[in-house]
Amino acid sequence: MPNQQQSSHPARIAVIGNYIPRRCGIATFTTDLAESLAAEAPGSEVWAAAMNDVPEGYPYPSRVHFEMNEQNRGDYRLAAEFLNINGIEVASLQHEYGIYGGSAGGFILELIGRLRMPVVTTLHTVLKDPTPDQIKVTSEIARLSAKLVVMSRRAAGFLRDIYQVPEEKIAFVHHGIPDLSFVDPSYYKDQFGVEGRTVAATFGLLSPNKGIEHMIAAMPEIVKSHPEFIYLVLGVTHPNVKKHEGERYRTSLQRLAAKLGISENVRFLNRFVDIEELCEFLGCADVYVTPYGNEAQITSGTLAYAMGSGKPVVSTPYWYADEMLAEGRGVITPFGDAESLSANVLGLLDDPVRRHAIRKRAYLFTRDAVWSKVAREYFRVFAEAKERGQRQPTRRFRPRAVLPATAPLPEINLEHLRRMTDTTGLLQHSKFNIPDRAHGYCTDDNARALVLAVSAQDLLSRDEGLASMSACYLGFLAHALNPGTARFRNFMSYDRQWEEAEGSEDSQGRALWALGVTVARAPDKGQLAAATSLFNRALPAAETFKHLRAMALALIGINAYLGRFAGDSGAKRVARMLGRRILRDFRRNATADWYWFEDILTYDNGKLAQALVVTGTFLEDVKMVEVGVKALEWLTEVQSADGMFRPVGNDRWYRRGGHRARFDQQPIEAQSMIEAYAAAYAATGETRWADLADQVFQWFLGQNDLAAPLWDSSTGACHDGLGPEGPNLNQGAESTLAWLLSLTDMYKLRAAHAGRPSAPLEAVGGKNDDLRKGVLT
């Protein structure tokens, strides 16, 4: 029965490996796993990416969405890009030596090293004596994987002891098997023409390491006591063996049987069967035999299937058999010893009570290996992989050198901002780097864009389009102000319909911030007048604000406004009132170990400290400045690690006394910290604030937990956050503005730090400009 907790399952999963109708054990396993995952979670999409060993590929079922030529390195990179773009949430890699190209199968690293989702790798082989290349590839697969699945306890030990894989990264999950009934062997014998006979069976792709010759050599002794005994060998020759040796091995087995005079007691079924016929084949066996020639086999699907169908197994002691057949679940016989093999088979045939006890123990032991339960275990591992990624992200990007404080800053590129702006205003979201009209516009983002447009005009004095952009964003705010309530509406659909009568307090505060900055900095007299009028109409609402961020945003805007109109007594009165409220909440909430305004750190945190610093500076309130500075110091300590900026993640944020979320990290937090540091530098003159701003700025450039750059030098866009597997591929308005505002703040802060006015720059991304990359690549 499918698991009912669908919400806990990834929406889209990709399995990577060989796939039917390709004929090999990995193809069968990958297909069975994909189908079982899909059956367990009907609400999830399960895709497959399949490896081709022939140029023409295979006629795959619809579940296969991507094919790779195993020897074409470029295909692996394209597969990663395909899976990333299509929003795969978990990748399940099936690893076996020989199915991927490159030395020791190293091409697969090109794929998983580029994936932006947790990778769970199932290791079908774990070598005890690997070559240096095999150690290198396996170790890198282990590093890039959030979890490693093994199908035997010994394999887990090898990973720990030989490859130094941490215990917590390893998960044991049984090799999946079909859920078969415990039936009498006689039920299916007529379907294979062996009714009335005692049957031993082996199935799988035929190759010399299967040791079939040892069972044939044991046959004469068995046939003496049981003339009706027949040995059925089901399976085609392994494709790789057939490619190089043809049917030499099968022919040698047939000749051996003829030489021993038992040709009538050995039958080769030279075909690849579907799961239904395979189950019937297993059902007809009285004894199952795996006479492999050496110990180095860590997993065997054929053995798991045989035990799952309730067969008494006689096997050589290869690693997987030694583990699975322990505690009386089967019979172990020495390698290459036909005499012992015949004695052990006869021992089962001649003791039906023992034989039936063994088959029952084997059947009961493998109930946890049926595919439905295995699928549930994989979903559990997927959840652990995601959780592990939050705690210990995998670096998939090459570390970036820190940009020296003396190095030129990247150019201000407004191409993506212009792309996201139309005649109405700035669109909220993008899908990848394409504007997403489905979500329309919002006051929040148009306010941020207005701050950027008016703040950048002294830096980009040659960009005539900036004045038009600021007029567009200011016009949006003017239309957003509801004349009946003097409150801003926030969300507008693409067809220009307001979706609410009044926006959130945050959007009110953000609009006041933008209008105050426009009053302070706009060079255009008409925009100055319009912004002043809107500001004064909207300011009274700030007196009713209850949320700290709304108060802080309004305060920052009021202080910018007072930079031009310092004599406005009404604005000063509101500034005092809001500053005192924030200070009051700080004193109520702060303790020595939690020196903050609230019980939780969420988003845009720097604005709270900045508001007290700028307000205290204007009002000449030393205590207010001191609290703002001390709170900013504490926030810096919380959001710094390993010599770099590490903002609080948005996955449940960071509550006092609780767990601090590491992801997803948001560009808006970096921008708020840079602006707060600039305010602290202006208030105190201490150079440490400029240095800290530079450290946070490096987060955008790749000095972060994943060494992943967030900005796009070709368009001036910024990715929508940093997750445990890499940057979010979308590039919306909020994140792009966070980058551009941070960049303009850094230009001005460096100029102030150097004691000179900001020098005009040439904008990148104008309609007639050649696109140029920033100085960092």
Q: How far apart are CA 197 and CA 62, in angstroms?
A: 42
What residue has token string 């180095």? 296
Residue type present at position 750 = R
The answer to whether 309 touches 229, Cβ cutoff 8 Å, is no
Angle formed by the axes of helices 371-391 and 25-40, to 10°?
A: 80
Q: What is the pLDDT of residues 248-267, one digit of tens each?
A: 999 999 999 999 999 999 99
Residue type present at position 442 = C
Going from the first residue of the chain to its last (777 residues), give the mean pLDDT of each consecutive group of 10, the final group possibly shorter. 56 96 93 97 96 96 98 97 94 96 96 94 97 96 97 97 96 96 89 95 92 97 97 92 92 96 96 86 95 94 95 97 97 97 98 96 97 98 90 69 74 97 98 96 98 94 91 98 96 97 97 98 96 98 97 98 96 97 96 96 98 97 96 98 95 94 96 98 96 96 93 96 92 98 96 67 40 22
Q: How far apart are CA 746 and CA 193, in angstroms?
A: 83
Tokens of 188: 């299916």
Tokens of 59: 């006629």
Q: How far apart are CA 473 and CA 423, in angstroms?
A: 9
Q: How far apart are CA 426 and CA 412, in angstroms?
A: 18
The answer to whether 457 touches 518, Cβ cutoff 8 Å, is no
Comparing CA positions, the residue from 700, 675, 685 lying closest to residue 455 is 675
Angle formed by the axes of helices 667-684 and 687-701, to 10°?
A: 160
Q: How far apart are CA 492 and CA 444, in angstroms?
A: 11
Tokens of 64: 């296969």
Phi, psi of 654 (to 5 degrees): -145, 105
The answer to whether 715 touches 419, Cβ cutoff 8 Å, is yes
Residue 399, pLDDT score: 58
Q: Count of alpha carbons within 13 Å of 471, Cβ hemisphere only?
A: 11
Find the farthest-apart pair of alpha carbons in the chain and give their distance in angstroms, rounded: 115
Residue 402, pLDDT score: 60
Q: How far apart are CA 667 and CA 514, in angstroms?
A: 19
Question: Residue 13: CB partners within 8 Å, gap ≥ 6?
Answer: 37, 44, 45, 46, 47, 88, 89, 90, 91, 92, 382
The answer to whether 710 touches 729, Cβ cutoff 8 Å, is no
Taking the C-alpha atoms of 492, 496, 497 and 500 in order, what is their torsion angle to the nearest 10 degrees?
20
Phi, psi of 399 (to 5 degrees): -55, 140
Alpha carbon 239 to its chain centroid, in Å, reads 35
Q: How far apart are CA 29 and CA 18, in angstroms?
A: 9
H-run or E-run covering 47: strand 45-52
Residue 756, pLDDT score: 54
Tokens of 72: 């074409």
Residue 534, pLDDT score: 98
Residue 614, pLDDT score: 97
3-class DSSP string for 88-102: CCEEEEEECCCCCCC
What residue has token string 């399940």? 92
Comparing CA positions, the residue from 435, 414, 415 lying closest to residue 426 is 435
Q: Would you call 478 exposed, middle or buried from its count of C-beta atoms within 10 A (0-12, 13-18, 19+)?
A: middle
Residue 240, pLDDT score: 84
What residue has token string 């199935």? 203
Residue 454, pLDDT score: 97
Q: How far is CA 771 from CA 41, 347, 420, in A?
A: 47, 81, 17
Question: Residue 506: CB partners within 8 Å, gap ≥ 6?
Answer: 444, 547, 549, 550, 553
254-257 own/partner pairs: CB under 8 Å, 24+ apart: 256/213, 256/216, 256/217, 257/216, 257/219
Residue 239, pLDDT score: 85
3-state helix, strand, coil in the chain (%, to 5): 50, 15, 35
Residue 398, pLDDT score: 61
Planar angle of CA 69, 297, 284, nearest 5 degrees: 95
Residue 679, pLDDT score: 97
Taking the C-alpha atoms of 58, 60, 66 and 68 in order, what is their torsion angle to the nearest 10 degrees?
-20
Tokens of 365: 């032991």
Single pTM value for the model? 0.81
Q: How far apart are CA 648 and CA 664, in angstroms?
A: 8
Tokens of 369: 């290996």
